[in-house]
Amino acid sequence: MSRGVVRGAAVAALVAGLAACGGGQGSGNEKTLTFWMYQDRTPQAGQVIEKVRKDFEKANPGVTVKLVKIPKDDYNTKLGGAVAGKSAPDAGILDQPLVSKYALDGTIKEVPAGLIDESAFYKGALDTNRAGGKLYGLPADQTCVALFYNKKLVPAPPKTWDEMKATAARVHQADANVAGMNVPKGDGYGAWMFPGVVHGAGGQMVDDAGKKVLFDQPPAVEALQLWVDLLKSSPRKITDSDKPFENGLAAMTISGPWDVPTIHEQFPDLDFGVAPLPYKSEPAGNIGGEDSVVFSTSKNADLAWKWLAFLTDAQNNGAIADAFGGFPVNLKAQVVAAGPEQAAFLEQLKVAHARPAVPQWIQVNDEIIAPALESALTGKATAQQALTDAAGKTRSLLGWTG
């Protein structure tokens, strides 16, 4: 056999070997990063995610980001199964109140020191990732509620609790068929909004570090009493009707940015505005949205954190947050959602407070606080009685003495 034939055979063997190792970009350098997320809200949202994915891969040669999109209603169940089966993805989206649960049971990793500049983020959004004083994820998007008001009935939105009660009373006195306020109810949604009102009185729901339940203290009692007092000018026989605010039967309501386009589309004649929530002693509000975390079983943790930082940087987070259905968490990211109403939500998010970093908080919210609120709102107990009872149940559930 000639040397040329031998040389040709050797080259062919080398090429075949490189192909078997993943191609000519350097054997063993190729990595696939798996990221779980909710199913795209819209085709346009999917296009945004795809562009960011390609940009990341371009900036990181040899890396493939595999996006696994799961319907939101099925997400937590499937993720829980994957975690239990030791087959969790490298990284994924996580609902805010689940971060503390996953952090404290060792399911997710702590954010590496120096990965981000914490001052670049909205404080409330970043705090949704804290548990035991440590940071376990990065916020992906955020949302909140604010005060919607009918400009015909409320020319200038109230800024304080007293102004809100006076405005509601004036509206109802002028027309007994119109409620001053669509007062939240004692359900999971109302209980989610309630802490923002408590913080507006200078209080908090719990001291998770000190393991103390605080929502039976004066600020929380005053917050619930505010809702009870508003019912005097806001009868439920009016607000239990279909879409009372949209139909002009309630002068004010509390809702989120998701209702803005719906109202514009379905009730084009309603002249309404959105303002930050009224408060007693300090501006405050609640927060919702999604966080992103890296799972403890990831074999590509460093790369996963790099991907999450990419999603939340100033360049990408505006589009990503909008695709997820919320507002940016990075202070310098451009807000995609347009319209004069958005300014109120952005102001509200500056003073938003994260939910308590308690693994059982969803249960506390839905099964303890919600019925306590409803008990007071329907007159079955005073605000103090309802919250004292709820606080006792919460201490028993959490095993806290304070």
Structure tokens at 57: 């891969």
Beta strands in 251-307 (DSSP E): 252-255, 272-275, 288-294
Query: CA dihedral defined by 365, 366, 368, 371, rounded to 10 degrees?
Result: 120
Residue that the structure tokens 């503390």 belong to: 100
Write phi, then psi, for 94 (nearest 5 degrees).
-145, 135
Q: Residue 257 has what pLDDT? A: 96
Q: Please list, in sequence order, all residues whose beta carbon lies within 8 angstroms of the beta carbon of residue 57, skipping any fewer than 6 positions away.
A: 63, 64, 65
Spatial separation of the C-alpha atoms in residues 362 and 370, rounded to whole Å: 11
Is the CB of residue 102 less than 8 Å from the CB of residue 36? no
Is the CB of residue 320 less than 8 Å from the CB of residue 48? yes
Q: Which residues of the chain have pLDDT under 50?
A: 1-27
Q: What is the CA radius of gyration of the chain?
A: 25
**Interior CA angle at 70 toward 69 and 73, to 5°?**
150
Structure tokens at 210: 């000190």
Is the CB of residue 370 less than 8 Å from the CB of residue 340? no
Spatial separation of the C-alpha atoms in residues 43 and 21, rounded to whole Å: 36
Task: Answer positive or negative: Cα dihedral of 261, 262, 268, 271.
Answer: negative
Spatial separation of the C-alpha atoms in residues 144 and 345, rounded to whole Å: 7
The amino acid at residue 87 is S
Neighbouring CB atoms inside 10 A of 150's CB total: 21
Q: Residue 8 has what pLDDT? A: 40
Q: Residue 384 has what pLDDT? A: 98
Is the CB of residue 267 less than 8 Å from the CB of residue 246? yes
- Common-topology check for domains 31-142+288-350 and 146-286+360-398: yes
DSSP at 253? E
pTM of the model: 0.90
Q: Residue 28 has what pLDDT? A: 58
Class of domain 146-286+360-398: alpha beta
Structure tokens at 250: 């309630």
Q: Residue 266 has what pLDDT? A: 98
The domain limits of the chain are 31-142+288-350, 146-286+360-398
Neighbouring CB atoms inside 10 A of 323's CB total: 23
pLDDT in tens, 340-387: 999 999 999 999 999 999 999 999 999 999 999 999 999 999 999 999
From the number of C-beta atoms within 10 Å of its C-beta (0-12, 13-18, 19+), residue 158 rates as buried
User: What H or E segment, with its residue span, contains residue 46?
Assistant: helix 43-59
Class of domain 31-142+288-350: alpha beta
